A and B are shown apart, each in its own frame.
Chain A
Amino acid sequence: MAPKINGVGVSGEDTRICVVMVGLPARGKSFIAQKAQRYLKWLSVPAKTFNVGNYRRHDAPQPTAEFFDTTNAEGERTRRAAAEAAVADMLRWFKSGGVIGILDATNSTKERRKWVIDRVQSEGVDVLFVESKCDDEELIMANIRDVKTTSPDYKGQDPEKAALDFRERIRNYEKVYKSINADGDEDDLTYLKIMNVGKQVIINRIRDYLQSRIVYYLMNLHIRPRSVWLSRHGESMLNLEGRIGGDAGLSHRGEEYALKLPQLVLDSVGSDRPLTVWTSTLKRTISTARHLPKHYNQLQWKALDELDAGVCDGLTYQEINDIYPEDFQARDEDKYNYRYRGGESYRDVVIRLEPIIMELERSEDILIISHQAVIRCIYAYFMQKTQEESPWVPVPLHTLMKLTPRAYGTELQTYKANIQAVSTWRGKGSTARHEDPVPEGGL
């Protein structure tokens, strides 16, 4: 797992953190857990979620609300056993190199939280509680209908009945639920409390940088509906020659794409609500954005510039293979970690894109016009692509992608401009100037 020439990104080497979710059901805990895990893995921090509900389902696949009544001894025992199994698995996972384990359960009583602390801290793992608190009944019911009625607990049941049963289940939790430090005697805990989807936030005793990174990321999340649009620049003069990098202008067909982009975006957005446009600082993305409507706010980010190919900048793949045959091969063997001499690796690009991802999470509708490698990295973040896959993802020219985050994952739509362009995708080992992507695994 140790990369050959790179550092280990942002991970604090010695810290191991158990992120313990806290909150009543239907407060978006799993949503938060899932996002945090995706973000951390994207940054190469080993992260894994342990969902207590999944452990419980072994013993009680489709329980009714009564099962969750705290006076139901049998239910109580089963749920306790599930929590123990999840924590035991997590501790084993830490021993095998895990860095951030996320315990996804309600953990809604002081006793349960105390138990988790005792269990986890004795193994030298720090505990960070993350509570999602929400009193907005409408938001809660919307969440129940969207997510919970499709849960395995209610498979094959009438959705309306399922929703009611689930509301009942929550009431059982409400009886014993204690928000963190509500009584003032949990002041020693390290915690993040997010109230009403980020309107108010409390953080308490955050100790190190990695903790503050997670906290900051989670503070940026919101659930207002929005989409992110991604496009590469129009075909450039260097694309025509099959040369990488450079700072060339658009080809004739690239110009055509720039002219067509406003309509393509309008069709995809479906209304004239304005987008914020982010480009790189290179000519080809700025040119591609220049016909977009005037009321779209445009911003240039240096961090969106193409992966720096160092000494190989401006060469064709054939030339790279001729001049630096060992590098050419090394790159194909581990494209994610390979850093061009005097340039960057995909891993480096991910690290420099991290502030962009933070800002993306905080923002609403954004259109990003950037470059192949950069879009691959952003795409990998949203679509959970592994480091083996992401550097090979085909991102064709003259195509607009729309990514819409949903409760469990991201929805992708693509819009072709139907303007011809060369393909800049390259298969492993190939030095072809232009080559069509292999059909499977495409966008």
Chain B
Amino acid sequence: MSGRLFHSGRIAIVMVGLPARGKTHICVSMARYLQWLGVKTRIFHLGDYRRATVGEGGQVPQDYFYPNASPASVILRQKILKKCREDIYAWLNHENGQVAIYDAVNPTASGRRSLAKEFAKHDVQTLFIESYVDDEEILKENARNVKISSPDFHGMDPDEAASHYLQRIQTKIPVFETMEEESELNYVKMTNAGQRFFYNNVSFNYLSHRIVFYLTNLHVKFRTTFFVRAGNATEEDSFKADAPLCEEGRAYATKVCETLIAHREEERQERIARGGVDVPLRPLTVWTSTRLRTIETADPFKEKGFKVRQRSQMSQINPGVCERMSERVIRATWPDEVVKHELDPYHHRYPRAESYHDLAVRLEPIILELEGEQNDLLIIAHESVLRVLYGYLMHCSTRDIPKLKFPRDEIIEIIPAAYQNEAKRIHITGVDPKMVPGSPEDIRIPVPGSPGSSPMAGGLGSPAVPMDLPTTSRPPEKVVNTAKEMVADKVADED
């Protein structure tokens, strides 16, 4: 293997579009998806370089974006561009990067053409993605959402601030040529946040195609995803047995159902109390794997009339030869494999087993379907599957995904937000502490950073609560995600 995935070579994704067109949202989502698929991806915001060059509090000259800018401005512009490109090449050439996402306005056709040529010289294929918006409502909404946090607009009516902001872009960047008839370039033009797509020559390799399909499914909709473990089964420690729920597991299933319904109702009441409109709850769909314990955990929902769908791709990670083996036996039988596993718990695959990366590839169609889903969604699955899906939605690093913990006494709620989803934990009361911790049928190999083999040890990226909290009256609680920092200064930036 080349180290770069899918033998797809290196790709520069070049964003095109004026500010407030949702470019950053697209960049961040795409990076999250690609990184999760195991593709080494990095975003290069040109705005960061501009700020670094003009210094803290500095301003670029008024004519910086003008086509007939003064020589001084042109030189400054070229200097900033050069630094950014150099960093892109250095990352691709020396850090084994595969997809560089270049986030800038790229307003002219001639500029785009020469950019593609330059990348080609460095043996990098270019895919342009333009976000074009001519719908006033979407423009204003975008401007309201991200830009008006700027001190310039402090105390202004949001609508007014949005119009001011849009006007300012217009003055600052007077010339913008949308992509049309640039037939020699590979590009996707997305109009009005996904209402229409135009594709030109995008099918040049496997990765470009995945990117295109992902974009097609990406939509900004307010919709919640819930995760919960399946109840425990009569034959807990066997992957192959596919045992049904035990008595205790059935009681657990009922609790999950009651807790979630109560939680949704509570949120609705809160919304009304805050002065919101009393809109009916979004329909809830339940997805399970085809393993018996997950199907049976969904039974109380089914009885209440919720739609339950089975997804064969959501079966738990296959432990291969480690089936029913204790950690001691695994260490004795497969010492070399244990060493490899500890070095890279995400990619390592025990004989005949699946790695987490294998599982992610298997779950990829589920991710795309999840992006396209309009209803609220409850996913009942094995911990290994929840790890990978959560890892995608919350942008966890592949190092952390195998360590995520999903105790049985919690439902995780994922709420979409501008650049980074947020997670909340909903406590399920009265769950026997015995059945709370990690899955016993998991591969019982400790991963680096977790002392011993205790399933209680939480990893860094763990969504789980510290286990010493009193479990009786835990309120829903926000999980802050560090990946937000990636675009933290971008939010207030006006590019």
Contact = CB atoms under 8 A, between A and B. Distances in A.
A342 interface: yes
A203 B196 contact: yes
Nearest to B200: A200
Interface stretch (B76-84, B238-246, B395-403): B238-246
Nearest to A215: B216
A355 B352 CA distance: 21
B134 to A, nearest CB: 12
A24 interface: no
Contacts, number: 103
Contacts of A267: none
A202 B311 CA distance: 31
Contact of B312 (A7, A201, A203, A341): A7
B39 to A, nearest CB: 15
Contacts of A348: 290, 312
Contacts of B307: 13
Contact of A7 (B213, B310, B364, B373): B310
Interface string A1-23: 00001111110010000000000
B372 A247 contact: no
A299 B209 contact: no
B312 A202 contact: no
Contacts of B196: 202-205
Interface string B211-233: 01100110000000000000000
B290 A212 contact: no
Given A7-B311, A342-B239, A343-B240, A209 B199 contact: no
A220 B209 contact: yes
Interface range, A side: 35 or more
Contact of B200 (A199, A209, A351): A199
Nearest to A340: B240
A335 interface: no
B242 A7 contact: no
Contact of B361 (A6, A303, A342): A303
B108 interface: no
Given A6-B290, A297-B7, A202 B354 contact: no
A201 B213 CA distance: 13
A352 B312 contact: yes
B197 interface: yes
Given A198-B203, A247-B352, A216 B312 contact: no
A378 to B, nearest CB: 17
B374 A208 contact: yes
A201 B216 contact: no
A209 B203 CA distance: 20
Given A219-B199, A302-B358, A362-B209, A341 B240 contact: yes
Nearest to B364: A355
A219 B372 contact: no
Interface in A196-240: 198-206, 208-209, 212, 215-216, 219-220, 222
Contact of B217 (A209, A341, A342): A209
Contacts of A343: 240
Nearest to A200: B200
A311 interface: yes
A342 B311 CA distance: 15
B312 A311 contact: no
Contact of A13 (B198, B216, B309, B373): B309
Secondary structure of the B contact surface, majority rule = mixed
Interface string A278-289: 000100000000
Contacts of B368: 209, 212
Contacts of A342: 238-242
Contacts of A256: none
A206 B364 contact: no
A339 interface: yes
Contact of B206 (A201, A351, A359): A359
A354 interface: yes
B369 interface: yes
A200 B199 CA distance: 5
B318 interface: yes
A310 interface: yes
Interface string A68-87: 00000000000000000000
A198 B349 CA distance: 38
A303 to B, nearest CB: 7
A220 B216 contact: no
A5 B290 contact: yes
A347 interface: yes
B313 interface: yes
Interface in B358-402: 358, 361-362, 364-365, 368-369, 372-374
Contacts of B452: none
B359 to A, nearest CB: 9
A352 B351 contact: no
Interface string B188-204: 00000001111111110
Contact of A216 (B200, B213, B358, B374): B213
Given A208-B372, A299-B7, A359-B206, A203 B197 contact: yes
A326 to B, nearest CB: 15
Interface in A12-69: 13
B11 to A, nearest CB: 16
Contact of B369 (A8, A209, A222, A247): A209
A355 B201 contact: no
A215 to B, nearest CB: 7
A352 B359 CA distance: 11
B121 to A, nearest CB: 24
A310 B243 CA distance: 13
A131 interface: no
A308 interface: yes
B362 A303 contact: yes
Contacts of A206: 216
A247 B349 CA distance: 14
B329 to A, nearest CB: 19
Nearest to A222: B203
A281 B318 CA distance: 14
A7 B290 contact: yes
A6 B372 CA distance: 23
A127 B241 CA distance: 44
B197 A202 contact: yes
Contacts of B311: 7
A247 B241 contact: no
Contacts of A220: 203, 209
Interface in A351-366: 351-352, 354-355, 359, 362
B197 A209 contact: no
Given A201-B199, A208-B372, 12 more contacts: A7-B310, A10-B365, A200-B199, A200-B201, A209-B217, A212-B368, A247-B351, A302-B361, A302-B362, A308-B318, A347-B312, A362-B206
The 8 A-B pairs with the shortest beta carbon distances in the complex, nearest first, are A342-B240, A7-B310, A209-B372, A201-B199, A348-B312, A204-B196, A302-B358, A203-B197
6 contacts: A13-B307, A201-B202, A202-B198, A203-B199, A341-B241, A351-B313
Interface of A: 5-10, 13, 198-206, 208-209, 212, 215-216, 219-220, 222, 247, 281, 297, 299, 302-303, 308, 310-311, 339, 341-344, 347-348, 351-352, 354-355, 359, 362
